A and B are shown apart, each in its own frame.
Chain A
């Protein structure tokens, strides 16, 4: 039973690593697609600003935020996504990073569903311009990304809880596991 538990924990850890790396890559790619210069423009602060302004038009088309908030979100969200992606890859303070990621993806999902409900046929803006909001995009977000983010978040909290239990006292863990205590 002990070895089963250990291998289960091992697999849990592995899955958590795979999940957070996948989530980190998704955020980094999303940030890159929004920040990369438009064709025939060189990499420069001005060209990145242009790309972010273009992303702002996509955010504005959701008709949720006032223009000042659109500008704020459009200029800060992609750099934050980049940082969050890197943060998830490092695995540092995973509970915080995965919670932020899950909240962000939930927010995107709600915004997209709301736009779809209102009959807006607009570009999603998730990975740069061009991707229309529709059932396909909503399924991708709702069935793949959101569960992934939630799984990583729950996994991070569970792992931390078990880790804390381990830190507290080996006896408590043994007692808590029941099976081991009987032995």
Chain B
């Protein structure tokens, strides 16, 4: 009852063409799915982020680059996840008194520590969500470190005036600032923040920006820790998560802890 099927026949040729089409279509469609996958990208190399942003420099300010908010190699034995709010004074002290030294140290450059920034803007702070949005937009164009530093260094100023753009502009080359500004200005709804009831940070946001999802992911990860205050840090050593800590830790003490971990066999 079944139709005859020989390899040389035209029917077989059509069959093989159909199969090839079915196999190839998803693989051709994959690059279109890449931007959403890039949202969760934790590409450790800022250079690669810069490369990606350079490619898209002439195109429209669409969020397509990987969102890099980390320093060092993801293969490092120590991973330091830091949940911060750009408007919180303790977070600024932690950054200025400890993280800045860590970023410049050989713990990052020689692959001993992998530092990952997570946004946890608090509802109580008026501009922290917006600051996180600026930082994420900057991360999209490979300029996260500069903007992070600018936000903390000028916290009092923009915290009072709400003029974040002024300090981001001062920290970036003009062309990069234009791209970052375009990304931020494309967002119409209020910036996401954490909520006391651990609700969805994007609940009041009908049309979130592409990088608002990254902030939401950070906040939801923070809920799971749970982050009760900022800054909160979680240290993972060789895949083993240590109890979360919170508050400012000075660089000599943090360094001492890393050394004691690295001395483990």
Contact = CB atoms under 8 A, between A and B. Distances in A.
A165 interface: no
A37 to B, nearest CB: 10
B10 interface: no
Interface string A126-166: 00111010000000000000000000000000000000000
Contact of A46 (B229, B249, B260): B260
B3 to A, nearest CB: 62
A54 B246 contact: no
B249 A61 contact: yes
Given A46-B263, A53-B257, A121-B229, 11 more contacts: A40-B240, A47-B264, A49-B263, A54-B243, A58-B245, A62-B247, A67-B253, A68-B252, A121-B228, A121-B246, A122-B229
Given A46-B264, A121-B246, A122-B247, A71 B253 contact: yes
A61 B263 CA distance: 24
Interface residues of B, number: 25
29 contacts: A38-B243, A39-B242, A40-B240, A41-B240, A46-B260, A46-B263, A49-B260, A49-B263, A50-B264, A52-B260, A53-B257, A53-B259, A53-B261, A54-B243, A54-B245, A54-B257, A57-B249, A60-B247, A63-B247, A63-B248, A67-B250, A67-B252, A120-B90, A120-B247, A121-B229, A121-B246, A128-B243, A132-B228, A132-B246
Contact of A38 (B242, B247, B256): B242
A177 B264 CA distance: 64
Interface of A: 38-41, 46-47, 49-50, 52-54, 56-58, 60-63, 67-68, 70-71, 120-123, 128-130, 132
A58 B232 CA distance: 12
